[in-house]
Amino acid sequence: MSLTEWKSVSRRHVLGGLAALPALSALPALFAASGARADEAAPLPSWNDRPAKQAILAFLRAATDPASTDFVPAEDRIAAFDQDGTLWVEHPIYTQVVYCLDRVPGLVKANPHLAKVEPFRTALTGDLERIGKLSLRDLETIAAATLTGMDVETFAAEAKAWIEAAHDHRWKRFYTDLVYQPMQEVLGLFRANGFKTFIVTGGGQDFVRVYSQRVYGIPPEQVVGSALGTQFGYDKAGRPILTKEPKLLLNDDHAGKPEGIHLEIGRRPHAAFGNSTGDREMLEYVKSGGGARLMMLVLHDDAKREYAYGPARGLPDTRVGSFPAALDDQAKRDGWVVVSMKDDWKRIFAFGG
């Protein structure tokens, strides 16, 4: 099976096996519904004037008003943003997992014995049902094998080439087009108010750093994510290189998020945005400090324009992403703001979706 065939299969797998999708016939209506001409001079033009938008504006006013008791000095203005499901689409499968699956045929070509070893054998079969049943551990095995062994700059070059070419199945667009326009506006507004914006993702930081500047205006050093170790050494020409190792240095999810924030940022952010239980500890950590605080969770309740999953509020329980009722309850109890994509966002994507 060629790489191209594999890509087709893995995408079909992804689309067929892992999540419910709106019918493709809904797409034209979806596009027609876009095209809102928001007033670009007013802040957050893609947000409806509801409590979530007001909470963001109130937070920024308090944080930047020297007369406010919640004033945050310029040098403490740090905001943390989860990526998958918060800044861009995570359904039906994390983009980085698609990347790993796409690399399996090349990996097997270079290491033919892997063709008979699980989970690579299954990944190669193209059998959607079997691939869909791969465990998290299987996916980790595939990730370790496809993301390590090369030097970090080779990895970055290959990931860059992939992300600049690969398209998602539903919108037929670059994955990097599937960033949420309302959140892009939040990133820009925070920066305009003197905040340093950081991505704090469960995904691999080496992967996200490849496109973070171009896509989010966030430089690589402001991306905190799951990280494998590297090993310093020299290539055959004697050139110093760093080789990616299958050794997990930071699992930047759940408790790993505040731990990663401490490791790479070194202080408690004043605002955090997430969309799942993996962001819970980060939001708890961000809440528990002085000065203005903002904790937000994006709820995917818009099956028509994007996806709908919870299982809070009766939304479908899916494999990727988890916003259970307990998280909804904690948000209410602790003053975290839940953003309804359906009600709070005028549009989802810059291209009008």
Residues that bind a copy of itself (CB under 8 A): 75, 78, 152-153, 196, 198, 205-206, 209, 213, 219-223, 227, 229-233, 239-240, 242, 249-250, 255-256, 258-259, 262-268, 281, 284-285, 287-288
Q: How far is the CB of 78 from a copy of itself (least distance, A)?
A: 8
CB atoms < 10 A from the CB of 235, how many? 10
Beta carbon nearer to a copy of itself, 54 or 231: 231
Q: How far is the CB of 275 from a copy of itself (least distance, A)?
A: 19
Q: How far is the CB of 223 from a copy of itself (least distance, A)?
A: 7
Q: Give the burial string for 256-269 (b: 16+ CB within 10 Å, else e).
A: bbbbbbeebbeebb
Beta carbon nearer to a copy of itself, 177 or 284: 284
Q: How far is the CB of 144 from a copy of itself (least distance, A)?
A: 17
**Strands 240-250 vs 223-234: parallel, antiparallel or unpaired:** antiparallel
Beta carbon nearer to a copy of itself, 120 or 285: 285
- Are the C-beta atoms of 47 and 345 separated by less than 8 Å? yes
Beta carbon nearer to a copy of itself, 170 or 244: 244
Beta carbon nearer to a copy of itself, 191 or 287: 287
Q: How far is the CB of 266 from a copy of itself (least distance, A)?
A: 4
Q: How far is the CB of 285 from a copy of itself (least distance, A)?
A: 5
Beta carbon nearer to a copy of itself, 5 or 221: 221
Burial category of 225 from C-beta neighbours within 10 Å (exposed 0-12, middle 13-18, buried 19 and up): buried
Q: How far is the CB of 123 from a copy of itself (least distance, A)?
A: 28
How far CA 82 is from CA of 4, 163, 196, 204, 281, in Å, comes to: 31, 19, 14, 12, 12
Beta carbon nearer to a copy of itself, 47 or 207: 207
- For 99, list phi and psi in degrees, rounded to 5: -60, -45
